[in-house]
Amino acid sequence: MEEKRVPPISFFDEATDYKRDLGLVESLSIVVGRIIGSGIFRTPGPIMALVSCTSLFGMVWLIAGAVTIFHAICYAELAAMMPRSGGPYVYLKAAYGPAAAFLRGWAMFFVSETGGIAVVALVFAEYLNEIWGICFMAPFSHIHEILIALGIIWVLTAINLFGVFISGVFQNIFSLMKIIAIGIIIGISFYANGSFAHFTASFLPDKFSLGSIVAVGAALRLAFFAFSGWEGATYIAEEVENPRKNLPLSLFLGISGVLVLYLGVNAAYLYQVPAAAIAQTRGIAAEAMKAAIGSAGAILISIAVMLSTFGNVSTQVLVKARSWQAMARDGLFFSGLKPLHTRYRTPNNSLVAQAVWASIMLVALLIVYLAFDIKSDRSYEAIISFFSATGAVFNIMTIYSIFIFRKKYPDALRPYRAWLYPVSVIVVLALLASYLVITLITAFVPSLLGLMLTSTGLVYYWWKRRRR
């Protein structure tokens, strides 16, 4: 009789040195807070510029939402089975071994996750600039935007050094404020004078071609970024009460609610602003409110967006630092990031190191801007393009790990099983693979740079193994 495969306790049990101070409300707030940040306020303009018509614009958002829901269906099985802090890092280590998990963590730290922190902090500064321009008739420079983003990163890192309970309360407050902000946009936009003709004026592209498909793929890169972060609660699984139940539930409730809000707010934008104008603006929320109720509305919504992005950076700072600590705890990253604060039980060294690298990325962007005189409105898209392909590769590996675990550990505790398995997993893998191919076609150089920086982790991993 074949012996049953028993999963390693370190992957599958709930023992932890962290404090479990976060309930379902906090987990849900983290999911909502991680998703709603800069994306829905910043990406509609570039998406419309790529697809140039309202039908493809709507299709991009529907596809991104559907893929995210299917993605979460698969992810929930992993989160409930392995309630360990670190998110995808933990799943990859259990499925493929330490080398693959280390590269994912390396990419998260040096490419994707700290890049996400830098991007959203930059959007906070952009909307502050919108208010400044309205009030003083002249916006400040892109250099000042980057300096303000640096300040935000360090302020929010400092807040997260003093315990997860304080951070959880902070997430609840700002997640609620984000929902209210989007509700304000939707309500005022449809209450004020607008035009449903905007939905049909540029409804179809001039002609359907391969270029249309490529444009949709490129636009999906931005839409996926707007939905990104939904897995944020899995990064802090060891600080969540009853994680096997609360983590999957927070994923489904959070993503479903955000999808409804996103569809509503994009319709509100289009009701107030025609497609051609949306394609020309960075701050579509401010433009929609300005069209609805004038400059006062633009100021109010810019403040609301600033609050939203401020809270999103805080959530990112909170959850992502747990990955670096988990890697260091396993001996796969810089050992100085392993300790937890003796009083607050927070990974303070990881928090500070994360802030340092995010700051370096912003400073590098500033140097490039000064040296090459790049357009300031391309900074946001440039950072997203830099880490999109890398993230897609590891997302594919993470979802495929479900097949590995079903075979390798058939008797592991699975409080939740992916709906429609294996069809749901295959669908997600196919969509992610298609997205990766189109990303490599439409953003080859940034994608290549991101993949090259990820591969440098092999050097560190080899050196670490030699030292052992």
Q: Which amino acid is at 228?
A: S
Dist CA 376 CA 145 (whole Å): 10
Residue 87 gets the label, from left (phi > 0), alpha (psi -120 to 50) or beta, of left
Rg of the chain taking only CA atoms, in angstroms:
22
Contacts of 407 (CB under 8 A, 6+ apart): none
Give me the DSSP letters along 215-234: HHHHHHHHHHHHHTTTTGGG
List beta partners, residue 22: 240
Dist CA 236 CA 227 (whole Å): 19
Q: How many helices (H) and strands (E) does the chain have?
A: 21, 0
Output the pLDDT for position 295.
Answer: 73
Output the pLDDT for position 82.
Answer: 86
Residue where the block lists tokens 């390396």: 106
Q: Does domain 16-467 have CATH number 3.50.50.60?
A: no
Output the pLDDT for position 342.
Answer: 80
Output the pLDDT for position 264.
Answer: 92
Dist CA 281 CA 13 (whole Å): 49
DSSP secondary structure code for residue 336 in this structure: G
Query: CA distances (Å), 400 to each of 78, 433, 436, in order?
Result: 11, 12, 15
Output the pLDDT for position 1.
Answer: 42
pLDDT tens for each residue of the chain, 468 residues long = 444 455 555 677 777 777 787 888 888 888 888 888 777 887 898 899 888 888 889 999 988 888 888 888 888 888 888 888 777 888 888 889 888 888 888 887 876 778 778 878 887 888 788 788 877 777 787 788 888 999 999 998 988 888 767 777 777 787 788 888 888 888 888 988 888 888 888 777 777 777 778 888 888 888 888 888 788 778 888 888 888 888 888 888 888 889 899 999 999 999 998 888 888 887 788 788 888 888 777 777 778 778 888 888 888 888 888 888 888 888 888 888 888 878 878 888 999 999 999 898 888 877 766 665 555 455 556 666 777 788 888 889 999 999 999 998 888 888 888 888 888 899 889 988 988 888 888 788 888 888 888 888 888 778 777 776
Taking the CA atoms of 379, 385, 390 and 394 in sequence, report the sign of the dihedral they define: positive
Helix axes 444-455, 98-107, angle to 10 degrees: 130
Where along the chain do its domains lie? 16-467
Q: Are the C-beta atoms of 274 and 201 separated by less than 8 Å?
A: yes
pTM over 0.85: no
Dist CA 63 CA 56 (whole Å): 10
Query: Any idea how long the chain is?
Result: 468
